[in-house]
Each structure stands twice: as structure tokens, then as C-alpha cells.
A and B are shown apart, each in its own frame.
Chain A
Amino acid sequence: MQPICSASRRKRLMLALGGAATPRRCRKGNHMAIRVDPENNETRALFDLADFSGQHVLEIGCGDGRLTWLYAGRTAHVTAIDPFAESIARARENLPRELQGRVEFHHIAFEDFAATSEQSTFDMAILPWSLC
């Protein structure tokens, strides 16, 4: 069983709204009216709590990179991982040009990533709604 999920908040939302359980492929440009946290409450709470300056960050369960874009510009480097290939593909596709070289995405489950990673590698780890 996978202890680290991808964007579990959305899973819950999908359940609450009675959505289908079967994944379907996203059509590009199909969600123009959807707005996620336009008030930036999450961003404010994050920046109030964390100083990203010069930090090497590991984001676990990054999904499509929604949160990654918000803070990555302040870091030294971000390693963002997710067990879902489609999410990582979208994240790579949408990576802003100014963040290229600073952010790397990996399609990998956390336990596999951890098994091949050395101790004391990161300054910060982020679990963005993903411990489930």
C-alpha cells in the first residue's frame, strides 16, 4: 500500500462531488474556469512558516506541480516526486522556463526514492496534502 499519495485533497474533492473513480486523460486547456486557491491562503500560510532561501527541497507527492511553482523560485533546488506518471508528465510540460535547472521531477514512489537516497540530503521536505 502506498503511504504517500498524490494530491489527496483532490481525491477527497472528487469523492465528495460524486466523481468517477476511473482516471481519464486530461484535455489540455479544458479547465479555464477552474480556480484553485485564488485567495492565495495556502501560499501565505506556507511562506509564513517556511524560509526557502538557499534550501534544497524535496517535495513528496507533487502532483502536477501546482504548489511547486509557488515556492521553487525562492529555493536553491527542488526535487519533486510523484508516483503517478500523468501528474509528472503535466508538471514537466508546464515547468516555467525560469525554473528550468532549478526544479527536477521524478516519477517514482517515495519508498523507492528513499531507498536510493543518502542520509541528510535535503534541507526541507514538503508533504503537500499527500500523507494519506
Chain B
Amino acid sequence: MKHEGMVHALEEIQRLLRPDGSLIDIHPVLEAPLIEAYQGGKVLFAEPVLFRDYEDDRQAEDALAQIVQRRLFVIERSSEFDFLTYGSSVAELRDFMTKANAYDERPKDEAVVAREAEQSARVEEIMQTAGEGAEVAYHERGRIARLRPMRS
């Protein structure tokens, strides 16, 4: 159902675009983002995040593939880039994301929550040991693509 909704949205975007227009899509690469800690450009900590729900992204990729296969769009160019969000503490980064875009209401497994808390505690400890100037970052890869609408 959700996949069908995405395909329909892309069909609508194709309709709204002029024939010589373009669609720019930015979405995450389907690989585990990293939690990193830095100080003065030096990496103090880097570990994949323990929980990452890929289902929405997988469906989005499938929807894009489907509209390309149906020749509603053709991919002209694409590339990948690193995307980092920094905070002065894990709590601050988490708080920022929660307040900025609190969105998902899916419950998380208790064991995952506990492991995440343990990972966060390790990051915080490393940062406190490092002292002033240490930062935590959520590091993910993004993919950007330019698609051209096709009209039959």
C-alpha cells in the first residue's frame, strides 16, 4: 500500500513537471549510518548505529525503479555524498532531532533500546574523557539523482 502511494506520488510529480523539467531526489543509501565522535578533526569513535529501519527507504527505491522501468522518468545523473549532523552530546543531538522532526511512532524493541542506550553511554564517556571540543556526529551516505520526465 505504501509503495503504491509512492508510485502514485511520483506519477503526480511527472504530471506537474513541464516536459523539459527535472526531478531531484535525495534519499539515503541503504547502508548503516555511523555514530562518530570527533575532536579537532580526529576520530575518537565510529560504530554503525544499532537500529535502522530500512523498509521505507527500500520501498522508495522500489517505487523509483518502477517509474523508471515504466519510462515515466529517466535517470540522467546521480551521485553519492557524506551527510553529517553534529552535536556537542548524544543527548543534544537526539533532542534536536526529536524536536525538529518528531515523526515516527513505531515502537522499538526493548532490547534495541537498551543496546542503543549502552552505545550512547560509551560515546558520551569517550567525549567526556576527551574534554572540550569533542562532538558527536550521525554520519550517513546520501544519494542524489536528477530524473527527466518522459511523456508518451
Task: Pick from A34, A63, A87: contact of B92, CB below 8 A.
Answer: A34
CA distance A50 to B25 in the complex (A): 11
Report if B120 contacts A (CB, 8 A): yes
CA distance A84 to B15 in the complex (A): 24
Q: Report yes or no: A50 in contact with B146, Cβ–Cβ below 8 A.
A: yes
Report if A98 contacts B (CB, 8 A): no
B133: min CB distance to chain A, Å: 11
Q: Report yes or no: B28 in contact with A129, Cβ–Cβ below 8 A.
A: yes
Nearest residue in A to B77 (C-beta to C-beta)? Answer: A49
Task: Pick from A6, A34, A49: contact of B101, CB below 8 A.
Answer: A6
Task: Pick from A22, A64, A126: contact of B24, CB below 8 A.
Answer: A126
Q: Give how many A-B residue pairs fall within 8 Å (CB-CB).
A: 242
Q: Report yes or no: B16 in contact with A120, Cβ–Cβ below 8 A.
A: yes
Nearest residue in B to A19 (C-beta to C-beta)? Answer: B98
Interface size class of A (residues with CB under 8 A): 35 or more
Interface size class of B (residues with CB under 8 A): 35 or more
Q: Report yes or no: B24 in contact with A31, Cβ–Cβ below 8 A.
A: no
A17: min CB distance to chain B, Å: 4
Q: Report yes or no: B93 in contact with A16, Cβ–Cβ below 8 A.
A: no
Q: Report yes or no: B24 in contact with A125, Cβ–Cβ below 8 A.
A: yes
Chain A positions within 8 Å of B27 at CB level: 127, 129, 131-132
Task: Pick from A41, A117, A122, A132: contact of B18, CB below 8 A.
Answer: A122
Report if A58 contacts B (CB, 8 A): yes
Q: Report yes or no: B144 in contact with A21, Cβ–Cβ below 8 A.
A: no
Q: Report yes or no: B120 in contact with A35, Cβ–Cβ below 8 A.
A: no
Nearest residue in B to A33 (C-beta to C-beta)? Answer: B88
Nearest residue in B to A52 (C-beta to C-beta)? Answer: B24
Task: Pick from A7, A21, A38, A111: contact of B86, CB below 8 A.
Answer: A38
Nearest residue in A to B11 (C-beta to C-beta)? Answer: A114
Task: Pick from B16, B20, B78: contact of A114, CB below 8 A.
Answer: B16
Chain B positions within 8 Å of A11 at CB level: 101, 103-104
Chain A positions within 8 Å of B49 at CB level: 16-17
CA distance A131 to B99 in the complex (A): 21
